Structure 1
Amino acid sequence: MKSKWRISLTAAVVAVGLLAPITVSAANAAPVEIPLWTHNGGNKAELADVNLVVKDFNASQSKYKVTVKAFPQINYNDAIVASAAANRLPCIMDTDAPVVPSWVYAGYLSPLTVDKKITNKLQTSVKGSYGGKLYSAGFYDAAIALLARKSTIADAGLRTPTVAKPWTLAEFNDALAKAKASGKFDYALSLGTGWDGEWYPYGFSPLLQSFGGDLIDRKGLKTAEGVLNGTAGVAWGKWFQNIFTSGLAPKKETADQRDNGFITGKIAYQWNGSWAAASAAEKLGDDFIALPPPNLGTKAYIGGGSWQWAVSSSCANKAGANAWLQFALQTKYLTKFADDLFNLPITPDATKASKIFGPGSKYSEFATFSATFALIRPATPAYPVIAKIYETATKDIINGADVQKTLDGAVDQINKNLKDNYYYVKKK
């Protein structure tokens, strides 16, 4: 899974004298520096693409000069928080999609002024909106799918699900049961329990939402009561728990099970992201297939939203920062980010131009999954807290805790946080 964030300083020209010297001075003035920070310090390929956009933008005009500072992802958030406390944020910064509302609430970000004709073409999951305003925009997205072998489906006599008709809950359960009964696999399903952190809400809350539950009531964003611990939420929890108690999936995957269990044939199906598709396809060849998410009750969902770009509220030259972002959202760059990094294109034109994800290409289904099934995580400043509470509750459920009591406890914690923070509504 992936992730992004930034700010700026401005230069002033003091002119003394007649009109002609003033005009010459302004024309010869050095470009205004626009600092950009990114979490890609450890990702050479993505950093190279960011640097290319910066280089091209700087060469395209003489008014602004964007400068790049890259941090290792592990240190990035600390750098942002420390800089915000000192009122020294950069002008442009990348941010992980679900934390955008909390950054807006904290006063870090300013609304984008990028031309709406451009942002309207972006897939909804790559736009960070809060309070009716757009604060961030991404260059790509990712998509989860159910990775499988065609031969596994055929041997079990199963229907191959499609975007128009995903597997139902009964069909998905049947597929897992038949994989286990075949005796060919150690486990029927890999769910990525070898990961921690954001994978839990990103990977598992769409299954809860497919049942009809959610992390919070999205209508008012003031309570989780009835949506996380209601009938649908409890049904999800019991079904999810049964996957582990019945031995269909390992409770805590080893690194080898997580990374190699599916491609080595020890696990029949894998719930994983588009980032895992290339190695699986290379290993399995024509037998590889990426299936759409199952519809477990209401609708099929996957998580939406990856790293996005924003402009800081303290940026002294927001116009220049927005100009860079608007320049970066050209189709040629969005296509390059997709094809170079194996990330998903997020406009119709970029998808059409993509050699990897375009129509008729080997991985075109992932772009379709993202455009069709992606649901962003709840747009609330409380999300980082909700995500952690949900992760803990889900791990407890996996390990056999009472589902209703566990979800009730999670709701109590979430609602307390909301109430303690006045439901994240600031006084006007």
Structure 2
Amino acid sequence: MVFRTRRLAVASVAVAAATALVAGCATGSGGSTSGASGDTLTLWTHNAGNSAELDVVKKIIKDFNASQSKYKVELQAFPQSNYNDSVVAAASARKLPCLLDVDGPNVPNWAWGGYLSPMDVSGSEVPLSDQLPSTVGRYRDKVYAFGFTDVSLTFFARTSVLKKYGIRIPTMAKPWTKDEFDSALAELKKSGKFEYPLEMGTGSLGEWYPYAYSPQLQSFGGDLIDRDGYKSASGTLDGKDAVEWATWLRSLVTKGYLAKKSGVDPNKDFLAGKSAIHWDGSWNAAKNAAKLGDDLAIIPPVDFLHGPRIGGASWQWAMSSTCSNKAGAQAWLKFSRQTKYFVDYARATGTIPATDAAAEQVDGYQPGGEFSVFTRFAREYAVVRPVTPAYPYISTEFQKAVQDILAGADPKDALGQAAKDIDNNLKTNNHYAG
């Protein structure tokens, strides 16, 4: 994103996790345990390349180790590009660390596959009930993970540009309709000032595709899979509403509103005036506000008929099923659940604090703050990606379908093939029962 991949899973997560679990299936019971040497516990994180976020993790570990003498947590940080492959390899060898982070959409997959153990963090300073729902990773009514922050999709634009071309600035009370949005793009294209008036990260990779585009699909009335039992994608991913969405998406390219493949830094291009409206994430809000000041318009998602939608869930902390010292692991997890650490995470990452108490201490996210609207988006619009172990496979198939559609493939055929492949995967894995 500047699709900041540290916020969302990349393609290797989906491919590696799906491949490993299809091959190995649920292996959470029996066998050796690992992740601890006596009362010394290992913690793995994906953010070796992100010093600001890593510093928060180091601080929590240092504070925890100093707060008591029974347990000691030791850190091992990985670059995100290698992290999930390392987790998959360690899970296969039953040598996972006691503590690890996981991208929220993959929690059901890793829980089903036996990577994770349910956790009990009752008695923590911050109750789970205080968090944004999208920041708690649940599977089959058990809590497997929690995060300190979330992110929100939004449209960024310049107020001055919208006003210049007579385009209404939408609000949560009255978001753009599909017709309004299409008319705005037509007006901006007609102006001749923008080669492509809309930017939606079509040059990005991996998890950006379901994160960014499936909310629009859902607003049209479709979805990635029938969520009633998660037994089939056919009739949902390739149903009438989904095909209507895909046809509309393709029309953005054919009308010259959207590039088939955007540049490497879409947000930079937006700030440079190359695009007028940018479908992006809250992680770039502070940067954009610093550049554009009061001219920055933060715009809610379009209501394509079934209400505005955005994706929910980001990176979260979990405990491995093979941890030989689960009491120590849960002690660290409980200790980390202090408001001050929720605040530290949000400040370090420029993302939405997971609790109201933390938001009150983060500049811009206090009630009425310039970024507090993102918290409202997350509460009112967020839809978590399908809560099924099949999700990594669904993600990969959806990405391929969207890329094909943007490149000119027939929308019905592309979605139909994706739905068929997903259904075959579900049948092969006995619909991920057990």
Q: Which of 66, 81, 100 is residue 74 of structure 1 equivalent to?
A: 81
Report if aligned partners of 2:8, 2:208 keep a CA contact under 8 Å in 1. no
State the Cα distance separating 1:176 from its structure 2 match: 1.1
State the Cα distance separating 1:380 from its structure 2 match: 0.8
Report if aligned partners of 2:43, 2:75 keep a CA contact under 8 Å in 1. yes
Between the aligned partners of 2:160 and 2:218, the Cα distance in structure 1 is: 30
Between the aligned partners of 2:288 and 2:364, the Cα distance in structure 1 is: 15
For residues 39-118 of structure 1, what are the structure 2 equivalents within 5 Å? 39-115=46-122, 118=127
Partner SS, residue 135 of structure 1: strand
Q: Which amino acid is the alignment partner of residue 355 of structure 1?
A: D
For residues 395-410 of structure 1, what are the structure 2 equivalents within 5 Å? 395-410=403-418
Aligned counterpart, 1:29: none
Aligned counterpart, 1:210: 219
Corresponding position: 1:245 with 2:254:
yes
State the Cα distance separating 1:10 from its structure 2 match: 4.8
Aligned counterpart, 2:243: 234
For residues 20-419 of structure 1, what are the structure 2 equivalents within 5 Å? 32-115=39-122, 118-255=127-264, 258-419=266-427
State the Cα distance separating 1:367 from its structure 2 match: 2.2
Q: Which amino acid is the alignment partner of residue 162 of structure 1?
A: T
Between the aligned partners of 1:317 and 1:144, the Cα distance in structure 2 is: 38
Between the aligned partners of 1:136 and 1:3, the Cα distance in structure 2 is: 15
Partner SS, residue 136 of structure 1: strand
Corresponding position: 1:8 with 2:35:
yes
Cα deviation, 1:1-42, whole Å, max 9, x if unaligned, reads: 31599x73152xxxxxxxxxxxxxxxxxxxx11211101111
Between the aligned partners of 2:156 and 2:8, the Cα distance in structure 1 is: 23
Q: Which amino acid is the alignment partner of residue 152 of structure 1?
A: V
Q: Which amino acid is the alignment partner of residue 393 of structure 2?
A: V
Between the aligned partners of 2:106 and 2:387, the Cα distance in structure 1 is: 8
**When the two structures are aligned, how many residues end up with a matched partner?**
404
Between the aligned partners of 2:160 and 2:46, the Cα distance in structure 1 is: 40
Cα deviation, 1:260-300, whole Å, max 9, x if unaligned, reads: 22111121100001122222222222111110111111011
Partner SS, residue 310 of structure 1: strand
Poorly superposed stretches of 4+, deviation over 3 Å: none
Q: CA RMSD in A?
A: 1.6
Cα deviation, 1:209-261, whole Å, max 9, x if unaligned, reads: 111100001111010111111111011011111011110010001225x2422
Between the aligned partners of 1:364 and 1:211, the Cα distance in structure 2 is: 26
Aligned counterpart, 2:20: none
Q: Which amino acid is the alignment partner of residue 371 of structure 1?
A: R
Structure 2: segments with no counterpart, 5+ residues: 14-33
Report if aligned partners of 2:267, 2:278 keep a CA contact under 8 Å in 1. no
Report if aligned partners of 1:9, 1:35 keep a CA contact under 8 Å in 2. yes
State the Cα distance separating 1:328 from its structure 2 match: 1.2
Structure 1: segments with no counterpart, 5+ residues: 12-31
Q: Which amino acid is the alignment partner of residue 173 of structure 1?
A: D
State the Cα distance separating 1:368 from its structure 2 match: 2.0
Between the aligned partners of 1:220 and 1:78, the Cα distance in structure 2 is: 29
From the CA coordinates, give the structure whose radius of gyration is larger: 1
TM-score (norm 1): 0.91
State the Cα distance separating 1:403 from its structure 2 match: 1.2
Between the aligned partners of 1:151 and 1:250, the Cα distance in structure 2 is: 23
CA distance change for structure 1 residues 138 and 365 in 2, over 3 Å: closer, same or farther?
Answer: same
TM-score (norm 2): 0.90
- Fraction of identical pairs, as percent: 48
Aligned counterpart, 1:15: none
